[in-house]
Amino acid sequence: MMATLNIPLDEFYGVLLIFLRVAAIIFSTPVLDSETIPIVFKAGLAFAVSILLLPVVDTVVTVSDLSLTVFVMGVASEIIIGVTIGLSIKLLFTGIQMAGQIAGYQMGFAVANVMDPSTMAQIPILAQIYNLTAMLIFLTINAHHMFFSALVESYRIIPPLSIVLSAQLVEMMMQSAGNMFVLAIKIGAPLIAVLLVTTIALGLVARTVPQMHIFVVAMPLKIVLGLVFMIITGPFLTAYLIDMFSAYRFSLFELIQLMALR
C-alpha cells in the first residue's frame, strides 16, 4: 500500500512566504552572507527557522483567490523585505570596514591585502581586523537575535502582500548609506588624527634635516604608532560598537514600520 502525503496549498504558500523572507535576510546579513558558508547550510537554516516561525506568525493566504501576478508580486515583496533588513545592518559593517581601510592606507598597510571570505575580494589587513572585531562583538552581545524578533514583528506589521515602497523608506536607506561614511570617520578618527599629525611632523623634520632618509623612518614609525593607538583605543571602540549595535534595534523596527501600509 502506497503512502500519500497531502499538503494543503494554502499552508504551503504560507511556509513559502516565510522561507523567502528568512532566506533573504540570511543571505544578505553579515556573518551569514560569507561565501565560505555553504549555500545548502544557509538554505537548510532558513527552512528550519521558517518551520519554527510557522505557528508564531499569521500567514493565512487563500491561494485560490490569488492570480499569477499577485503570486509573483508576493514572492518579490518577501525577498525585498528580507534584503532591505539585511542590507541595513550590512551598511554598518561596511562603514566599520571602511574605517580600517582608511587607517590602513595611512599606516602603510595598503600593500598588505588579504582575501575577505565574505566578499572574496582583497582588502587591507587592518580593514579585515576591524571587520572581524565588529562581527565578534555583534555575536557576543547577541545582537543577531534581533533578526529573529524582527522577523516575527515584520509579519505582524507587514502581512504578506502588503509591502509599501514609500519615499520615507528610500530616504531612510539613503541616509543609512550616507551614515556609513560618517561611521567610518568616527571609528577611524583616533588613528587618522594621530597618523596625520605624524605625517606633518615628519614633513617638518624632512625640511629641517634634509640629510635624514625620511621615507625609511616614516613607514616603521607609522606602523608602530598606529598599532599602539589601536591598543589604547580598543576598549573605547568596543564600547562604541556595543552601543551602536544595541541602538540599531530601534532603527530596525522603524525601518520595518516604513514598509507597512498606512
Rounded CA separation 227/239 (Å): 19
Three-class SS of residue 5? coil
**Residue 17 counted as domain residue:** yes
116, β-bridge pairs: 121
What the block records as the C-alpha cell of 37 is 558558508
Domain count, the chain: 1
Element (H, E) at 115: strand 113-116
- Give the model's pLDDT for residue 1: 47
Structural domain boundaries, residue 78 = 9-258
Query: pLDDT digit string (tens) for 55-77?
Result: 777 665 565 566 777 777 778 88
Rounded CA separation 250/29 (Å): 17
**Residue 169 counted as domain residue:** yes
**Residue 232 counted as domain residue:** yes
Q: What is the pTM of this model?
A: 0.78
- Give the model's pLDDT for residue 136: 87
pLDDT at 171 over 80: yes
State in Å, rounded, how far the first CA of the chain is from the last one.
Answer: 54
**Residue 2 counted as domain residue:** no
* Contact in structure between 262 and 164 (CB atoms under 8 Å): yes
**Residue 3 counted as domain residue:** no
